[in-house]
Amino acid sequence: CDCCGGTLTSCPPGTSLSPSSWVASCYNPGDDQTYLIAYRDCCGKQTCGRCSCLNTEGELPVYRPEFS
């Protein structure tokens, strides 16, 4: 959401963090560890139109070691 004014840890203006989250697990064969992933959507507005919303179905998430 950074192109609409949000960040990795905050929602864009006019939206709010969802009270519920998506939870999944992810196995990393590099360190033989399974990680629990939780994701919360920003709710309250449609897309801002300043960035494209591409269908990412089937894509893998970006690994961010600074947040693990």
Based on the residue annotation, tell me whether 41 is a catalytic residue of this protein.
yes
List the catalytic residue out of 2, 31, 32, 41.
41
Interatomic CA distance for residues 19 and 28, integer angstroms: 28
Based on the residue annotation, tell me whether 32 is a catalytic residue of this protein.
no
Interatomic CA distance for residues 58 and 56, integer angstroms: 6
List the catalytic residue out of 2, 22, 31, 32.
22
Contact criterion met (CB below 8 Å) for 31 and 60 = no
Query: Among all residues, which ones are annotated catalytic?
Result: 22, 41
